[in-house]
Amino acid sequence: MKTQLRNYVTSAMLLLPAMVTLAALPSSALAQPAAPEVRSLAVDADAGLEAGSRLRFRLLGTPRVQASVRIRGVRDNIALREVEPGVYVGRYTLKRADRVDPNTDVRAVLKRGNRTVLANFELGATMAAPPVAVAPPPPPVRAADPLRIERFGMAPIERIEPGAELQFALEGMPGANASVDLPGVERDLRLRETRPGHYEGSYTIRHSDDLHPNRPVVATLRAGDRVVTASLNMQVVRPGAENRPPNGDNRAPEVVQLAPAEGATVPAGAPILITARFQDGRGSGVDPASVRIVVSGRNVTQEARIERDSLSFRGALPPGRQTVEVTARDLAGNAVRKSWSFDVAAAAPANLPMRILNHGNNDQVGHGPTLVQGQTVPNASVAVSVVAVAPVANLSQELMSRTLQADANGNFAFSFVPQFPIPGTRYDVTMVATRGNLRDDARLVLMQR
C-alpha cells in the first residue's frame, strides 16, 4: 500500500511541470492581441481636388482601435472617429498650400496598443459615396460659472478665397459650447476648448461657399439654455483693410494686351520691348509696389517701368523661347498671376572669308594627284567634296568627301586623284567652312588636260 502511494505521488510530481505549462499557454495567447485590419477606404469630395473642396472619409476595419488617414501633399494628419463598430469617418477641407491629385497616395493607419497596421491607397481609386458624419458629443457645462465672452478674434488673412484658412479664437466661460456663424457658409463652425475657457477653430473656405466679407462674423457661447454672442468684421482684421474701398472688392485684376504676344516670334539683335496693361474694372486698382516681373527666370522688376495701369521692360534677350511671368495685387489684396511666352529668332549667320590660293576657275590639271590649297579663319572646319563629270553622257562620280581642320593661320589643303583621267573631264570642287554660327563656301571648277 505504501509502495503504491509513493508511486502515485511520484507520478503526480512528474506531471506537475506539464500541467503548469499547459495552464500558462492560454494566458500567453491572450496577452497578444491580433493585429488590426483595414478592409476598405472610401473618399468623397464636394468640389473635386481643388482648394476649398471638402473631403469626407469612410474606413471599414477592426472595431475599437485608433484610426487616422495621411495624404501625401497634405501637412495635417486626419483623425477618424468610430461611429459604429468598425466604421470610422472624418473630413478635411483642402487648403491652398495642399498639393493633391488623383494619383496622390493615401495611407490609412489603425493602432491598437503597440500594434499598428498601414494600408496604402490611390486617392482617385478611393473616390466613393460620402461617408457618414456624426456630430461629436457636447462638452460638459458648468452651470455655476457666469456665462461670458471676454474676447473673440480672427487671425489676419490676405485674401478671402477658396482654399484660404480662417482661424478663430474665443475666451469665455469654461465648459460651454462655442461656435462661429460665417455669413454665406451653410453650417456653423464649432470651436474646440483647448484649455479651460479658451476655444479655437479653423475653417477652410470651399468653392461651394458664398462668403460675404462685409457682413459680421458672429460667435456664440452656449451653456444649457443660456446664450451669449460676440461679433467682428472680417474687413477689419484683413491686412491693409484701412486702404481698401468700402464696396467689398473681391475680384482679382487682369493682365491684358501682352506684347510680344503669346507664341510670337521677334527678330534678334535690337533690345526687345515687353509690355502689358492692368485691367481692374470697378475694383480698387493695382498697387504698383506689388508688381513683380520675371523674364526667363530673371527678376527684372527693378529695371522695369511700372504704373498703376501698365508695365514695360526693354532688354536684350538671347535667341530661343522666352517666358514672362507677372504677379500683382490690387489695393483690396486680390492677387493675379499671368505668364506667357514668345520666341526670339536666331541671328543670321555671318560669312567667313575663304579663298583658293593655287588654282583659278577652269584651270587645267594633269593626270597625277591634284593639290588644292585654301585659306579661311583659324581653326575653322572645312567640308570638301570633289565630283568628276565625264565629257561623254555627263556621267558623274564622287572622288572625295571629307572634313578638314584649318590650322592656326587658317590654311588648309587637300588633294585628289582621278581614277580614269579622260581628257575634257570636269572636276567640280565644293568647300564649306564653318566656325560656330559663321559659315562661307567656295566653288572651283578644274578641267582634265
Model pLDDT for residues 268-286, shown as the tens digit of each residue? 878 899 999 999 887 778 8
Contacts (Cβ under 8 Å, ≥6 apart) of 449: 364, 365, 366, 367, 423
Range ranked top by mean pLDDT from 16-25, 162-171, 308-317, 419-428: 308-317
Q: Average of pLDDT values for 192-203?
A: 90
Looking at residue 193, its pLDDT comes to 92
Q: How far is the C-alpha of 346 from the C-alpha of 429, rounded, in Å?
A: 30
* Cβ neighbourhood burial of 5 (10 Å; 0-12, 13-18, 19+): exposed
Asked if the model's pLDDT at residue 424 lies above 90, the reply is: no
The better pLDDT of the pair 347, 445 is held by: 445
Name the one residue in this structure whose C-alpha cell is 567634296. Answer: 385
From 5-19, 103-117, 287-301, 335-349, the region with the lowest mean pLDDT: 5-19
pLDDT in tens, 85-127: 889 999 898 888 888 888 888 999 999 888 888 888 888 777 7
Q: Is the model's pTM score more than 0.85?
A: no
Range ranked top by mean pLDDT from 21-25, 247-251, 432-436: 432-436
Looking at residue 31, its pLDDT comes to 46
Asked if the model's pLDDT at residue 80 lies above 90, the reply is: yes
Looking at residue 236, its pLDDT comes to 44
* Cβ neighbourhood burial of 291 (10 Å; 0-12, 13-18, 19+): buried
Domains of the chain: 1-32 (no CATH), 38-126 (2.60.40.10), 149-239 (2.60.40.10), 254-344 (2.60.40.1220), 355-448 (2.60.40.10)
Q: Average of pLDDT values for 182-198?
A: 87
What average pLDDT does the chain have? Answer: 81
Looking at residue 24, its pLDDT comes to 36
Residue 449: pLDDT band with limits 50, 70, 90? confident
Residue 249: pLDDT band with limits 50, 70, 90? low
What count of Cα atoms within 13 Å lies in the side-chain half-sphere of residue 223? 17
3-state secondary structure of 390: coil
List the Cα angle 192/196/197 in 5-degree steps.
Answer: 75
Q: How far is the C-alpha of 149 from the C-alpha of 220, rounded, in Å?
A: 9
Q: Average of pLDDT values for 296-313?
A: 92
Looking at residue 295, its pLDDT comes to 94
The better pLDDT of the pair 370, 130 is held by: 370
Asked if the model's pLDDT at residue 240 lies above 80, the reply is: no
Looking at residue 395, its pLDDT comes to 79
Asked if the model's pLDDT at residue 258 lies above 90, the reply is: yes
The better pLDDT of the pair 12, 302 is held by: 302
pLDDT in tens, 14-55: 444 433 333 333 433 444 556 788 888 888 888 778 888 888
Question: Torsion-angle region of residue 11: left (phi > 0), alpha (psi -120 to 50) or beta?
Answer: alpha
The better pLDDT of the pair 350, 376 is held by: 376
Asked if the model's pLDDT at residue 208 lies above 60, the reply is: yes
- Give the distance, in angstroms, between the CA of residue 203 and the centroid of all CA atoms in the same chain: 24
